């Protein structure tokens, strides 16, 4: 089983659509969770941290289910500029600095 598993996609959606990405992780001791966004040939950039209670930032909503070891990202009202690869990142695998990455989910938003 992969340490952090994501559906690779690609997800091709029209503008304005709602799209959800899922991620599962194998280490129940993990502490912190993040979604990063990576544009083609660019660096990963932090999109949002994921908190136990779930959190929202504008059109983006992240959820964490520790019991199921499952993380999700919901994007509402998709924009063309949302096209990117979304990386699920889990921190605290063995220590606070040990980050594990999913392979990423590719999203393309079309006009």
Give contact residues for other proteins (rule: CB under 8 A). Answer: 2, 4, 32, 34, 36, 41-46, 49, 87, 91, 95-104
In whole angstroms, the minimum distance from the beta carbon of 96 to other proteins comes to 5
67-78 burial string, b = 16+ CB within 10 Å, else e? eebebbbebeeb
SS3 of the chain: helix, strand, coil, percent, to 5: 5, 55, 45
**Residue placing its CB nearer to other proteins in the complex, 11 or 34:** 34
| Other CB atoms within 10 A of residue 51 CB | 12
**Residue placing its CB nearer to other proteins in the complex, 65 or 96:** 96
**Residue placing its CB nearer to other proteins in the complex, 15 or 98:** 98
In whole angstroms, the minimum distance from the beta carbon of 8 to other proteins comes to 10
In whole angstroms, the minimum distance from the beta carbon of 67 to other proteins comes to 22
**5 strand-pairing partners:** 24
């Amino acid at each position: 089983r992969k340490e952090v598993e994501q559906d690779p996609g690609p997800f091709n959606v029209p503008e304005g659509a709602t799209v959800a990405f899922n991620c599962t992780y194998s280490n129940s001791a993990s502490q912190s969770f993040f979604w990063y966004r990576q544009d083609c040939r660019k660096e990963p950039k932090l999109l949002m941290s994921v908190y136990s209670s779930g959190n929202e930032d504008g059109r983006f909503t992240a959820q964490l289910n520790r019991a199921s070891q499952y993380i999700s990202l919901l994007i509402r009202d998709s924009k063309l500029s949302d096209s990117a690869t979304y990386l699920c990142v889990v921190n605290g695998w063995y220590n606070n600095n040990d980050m594990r990455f999913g392979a990423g989910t590719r999203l393309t938003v079309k006009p």
